[in-house]
Amino acid sequence: MSSRSRPLVAGNWKMNGLRADLAEIRAIRERTVDGVAGEAEVLVCPPATLLAQAAEIAAGSPLAIGGQNCHSAEKGAHTGDLSARMLADAGATYVIVGHSERRADHNETNVGVRRKALAAIAAGLRAIVCVGEAKADRDAGREMTVVGRQLQGSLPTDVEPQQLVVAYEPIWAIGTGLTPTAADVAEMHGFMRREVEKIFPGRGGLVRLLYGGSVKPDNAAELLAAADVDGALVGGASLTARDFMAIASTYAGVPAEG
Ligand code: PGA
């Protein structure tokens, strides 16, 4: 692995978590303070109802808190939506945009995802832009075409590369227990690295490329060691401090590069 940014292990709680589950955030915080994640940055994206409380718990620790979605407008008549500025005001420093569940459930398009990423960055957040192919695309051998199109359409270009994180999440691997092989992940991440390098010549290494989709304590070491993988986006296994920090501990003892 050539010179890269600090790895990022991000948890996506999706539509899970009540106030009682803030105990997991407390436990994750304690373990980050104890250095369990080594050089990796640890982020939890709880549901919006818990965001401000989670951020209060994380305050003063290395644990970062993020949102799971934002609107592309700064404010206004958008009932039920949240702006990036509101997330930042509640204590978020990151936001996930364009997760495949939102692309499917809310018909989010590449153009819309790109607007959200720009709004997030304008509000001072880092944007985690999700891409990934469906099973039929991989079966037909067109996964790179699909992901390439998503990257071209969803990634803002007029930003600093450090403000952008890309998560490669093959849809068929999300919540299924299935994962691509480490070789397949490395191949896709190598492709994505070349794509971000086209957008940010000489600085593509500063865009962190996460792998997501059924990352668990028992497969994290292999998946995260794949070339051009700068961390993980973890769904189900991020709901407990035990599993999530077991994944993050993959980076313990690995010196930060770049
Ligand atoms: P999973 O979800 O880890 O439960 O597969 C990953 C994601 O959708 O971010």
Decide whether any atom of ligand 1 lies within 6 Å of the 174 Cβ: yes
Report how far ligand 1's centroid is from the alpha carbon of 11 (Å): 9
Helices 22-33 & 48-58 angle (0-180, nearest 10):
30
pLDDT of residue 41: 98
Dihedral class, residue 35 (left if φ above 0, else alpha if ψ from -120 to 50, else beta) = left
For a mutational test of ligand 1's pocket, the pick from 174, 216, 240, i.e. the residue with the most ligand atoms closer than 8 A to its C-beta, is 174
User: What is the DSSP secondary structure assignment for residue 41, as one 8-state letter?
Assistant: E
Ligand 1 site, residue 243, Cβ cutoff 6 A: no
pLDDT score, position 126 = 98
237 CA → ligand 1 middle, Å: 8
Tens digit of pLDDT for each residue in 215-229? 999 999 999 999 999
pLDDT digits 0-9 by tens, 25-84: 999 999 999 999 999 999 999 999 999 999 999 999 999 999 999 999 999 999 999 999
Report the separation in Å between the CA atom of 238 and the middle of ligand 1, taken as the mean of its atom positions.
9
Residue 106 is a catalytic residue? no
Residue 198: burial class (beta carbons within 10 Å; 0-12, 13-18, 19+): exposed
Using CA positions, which residue lies closest to atom 7 of ligand 1?
235
Partner residues linked to 233 by β-bridges:
10, 212
Catalytic annotation, pick one of 41, 99, 133, 143: 99
CA distance 5 to 71: 28
- Widest pairwise Cα distance in the chain: 49
pLDDT at 255 over 70: no
Q: What is the mean pLDDT of residues 166-179?
A: 97
Nearest CA to ligand 1 atom 1: 235
- Percent of the chain at pLDDT > 90 equals 96
Is residue 211 within 8 Å of 173, Cβ to Cβ?
no
Residue 253 clears pLDDT 80, i.e. is over it: no
- Cα 76 to ligand 1 centre (Å): 31
User: pLDDT of 138-152, one tens digit each?
Assistant: 999 999 999 999 999
Q: Is the CB of 110 under 6 A from ligand 1?
A: no
End-to-end CA distance of the chain: 11
pTM of the model: 0.96
Helices and strands (H and E) in the chain: how many: 10, 8
179-207: pLDDT as tens digits = 999 999 999 999 999 999 999 999 999 99
pLDDT at 2: 42
Q: How far is the CA of 253 from the centre of ligand 1 (A)?
A: 25
pLDDT, tens digit, for every residue of 75-131?
Answer: 999 999 999 999 999 999 999 999 999 999 999 999 999 999 999 999 999 999 999
Is 133 annotated in the active site? Answer: no
Would the pLDDT of 174 be above 50?
Answer: yes
Q: Which atom of ligand 1 is nearest to the CA of 237?
A: 3
When the pLDDT of each residue in the chain is averaged and rounded to a whole number, the result is: 96
Tell me, using a 6 A CB cutoff, whether residue 247 lines ligand 1: no
Query: For ligand 1, is residue 177 a contact (CB within 6 Å)?
Result: no
